[in-house]
Amino acid sequence: MTKIPNILLIYTGGTIGMIKDYKSNALKAFDFDQIKEKIPELNLLDCVIQTISFDNPIDSSNMSPKYWVKIAKIIEKHYHKIDGFVVLSGTDTMSYTASAISFMFENLSKPVIFTGSQLPIGDLRTDAKENLITAIQIAATRDGDLPKIGEVCLYFEYKLYRANRTTKVSASQFEAFNSPNYPELGESGVHLYFNNNVLKKVTQNKTLIVRKIFNTNIVILKLFPGINKEVVKSILEISDLKGVVLETFGAGNAPTSKWFINLIQKALKKNIAIVNVSQCINGSVLLGHYETSNHLKSLGIIDGKDITTESAIAKLMYLIGENIAQNKFKKLFETALRGEMS
């Protein structure tokens, strides 16, 4: 007899968990213990749904590593008795959160599906119901004795993505997310379709390891035409700075001014990890492809390849938190640990 999957729904906060009080016209937090009463279609799914909500749901803008750890601890606590997890959070920082969770779980063999909505669950035109129903259905999908998905994903508006490959691209459209440098893992239409060629292979012979330490002493330095020495110097000389996500032009290009090169070199000598990430949504850093990135390559800056800024932030916090030896750090960052880069 086929086992009915147990799915744990974790609500952290965000628009999806709000419902309108029609007397006051104000939005209030939704009680997910009554989820099947509000969305009776969930009764049609062939799975058991349990729910856990943060005692104090947080807005997406207040998301931080301490809440990433809280989410991870909930998953870790229930990992052996639950078959799949659906995490509901605010969309503005969802790509950061989902990317971070992907790095926290080593040897993950069960689905962790992030979703949310652009409109509250009680809104007439809400996208919350479809996103929630399908995310749960994906988490419950089996391939024989194994779950179909064994990684951290993000599902939104009919598309399933690898979480650490996503970025939010719209604040007003239902198609809020995109995966610019990696194919969609699946799509919801009349039937659920999975792109088996790009799914992570699910194996269950390794012990789950949960990493819970992040170092937040990092910064994003976005280059722009006319950026001056004082600005770059003030950022790179921040006290106790450990890492920089350097958002460069095009294929990883940056100014060749002597002052810029000297400041980068000085930071690297202080063992500050600097990752070169392109400002372009699509494409990859190609260090050395143009003269304007040759100097960065010769300095030994980390090649971010086609990683998103969100994923680079999470990966940098994670690896610095792991106290990786300096002579191994660059090679490890440039290695795809959870499918986050090509």
Report d(CA 276, CA 303) in Å as an integer: 5
Tell me how far CA of residue 62 lies from CA of 66, 71, 92, 108, in angstroms.
Answer: 10, 14, 10, 27
Same domain? For 157 and 177 the reply is: yes
The predicted-structure confidence for 146-168, as pLDDT tens digits, reads as follows: 999 999 999 999 999 999 999 99
Are 97 and 155 members of one domain? yes
260: left (phi over 0), alpha (psi -120 to 50) or beta: alpha
One domain for residues 179 and 282: no
φ/ψ (deg, to 5) at 251: -90, 30
Do 154 and 230 lie in one domain? The reply is no
> Is 174 in a helix, a strand, or coil?
coil
Out of 2, 12, 15, 216, pick the active-site residue. Answer: 15
* Residue 79 and residue 204 in one domain: yes
- End-of-domain residue from the set 190, 210, 230: 210
Rounded Cα distance, 331 and 329, in Å:
6
Give the tokens for residue 221: 């330095």
User: Which structure tokens are listed for 62?
Assistant: 């207040």
d(CA 130, CA 37): 15
**225, 133: one domain:** no
In a domain, 324, yes or no: yes
The domain that holds 161 is classified in CATH as 3.40.50.1170
Give yes or no: residues 14 and 137 share one domain: yes
Q: What are phi and psi of 48, to 5 degrees?
A: -100, 130
Q: End-to-end alpha-carbon separation of the chain, Å?
A: 40
Q: Residue 123: inside a domain, yes or no? A: yes
Listed in sequence order, the DSSP H helices in 4-58 are 35-38
Largest CA distance in the chain: 70
- Whether 291 and 179 map to the same domain: the answer is no
Residues 287, 172, single domain; the answer is no
**Tens of pLDDT, residue by residue, the chain (342 residues):** 568 999 999 999 988 888 777 677 777 777 777 777 778 898 899 999 999 999 999 999 999 999 999 999 999 999 999 999 999 999 999 999 999 999 999 999 999 999 999 998 878 888 999 999 999 999 999 998 899 999 999 999 999 999 999 999 999 999 999 999 999 999 999 999 999 999 999 988 899 999 999 999 999 999 999 999 999 999 999 999 999 999 999 999 999 999 999 999 999 999 999 999 999 999 999 887 777 778 898 999 999 999 999 999 999 999 999 999 988 999 999 999 999 999
Last residue of a domain, one of 148, 183, 210: 210
- Contact by Cβ (8 Å): 155, 86: no
270: containing domain: 218-333
Judge whether 166 counts as a catalytic residue: no
- Which residues face 156 on adjacent strands? 159
Q: Is residue 340 included in any domain, yes or no? A: no
- What is the number of structural domains in the chain? 2
Same domain membership, residue 226 and residue 192 = no
Taking only the tens place, the pLDDT of each residue in 68-119 is: 999 999 999 999 999 999 999 999 999 999 999 999 999 999 999 999 999 9
Residue 1 inside a domain? The answer is no
* pLDDT the model gives residue 34: 74
Domain termination residue (choose one: 143, 176, 210): 210
pLDDT at 161: 98
Residue 87: inside a domain, yes or no? yes
> What CA–CA distance (Å, rounded) separates 213 from 257?
37
Pull the structure tokens for residue 105: 């779980």
Question: Beta 105-106 vs 18-21: how paired, if at all?
Answer: unpaired
Clarify whether residues 44 and 142 are in a common domain: yes
What are the backbone angles phi and psi of residue 59, rounded to the nearest 5°? Answer: -70, 150
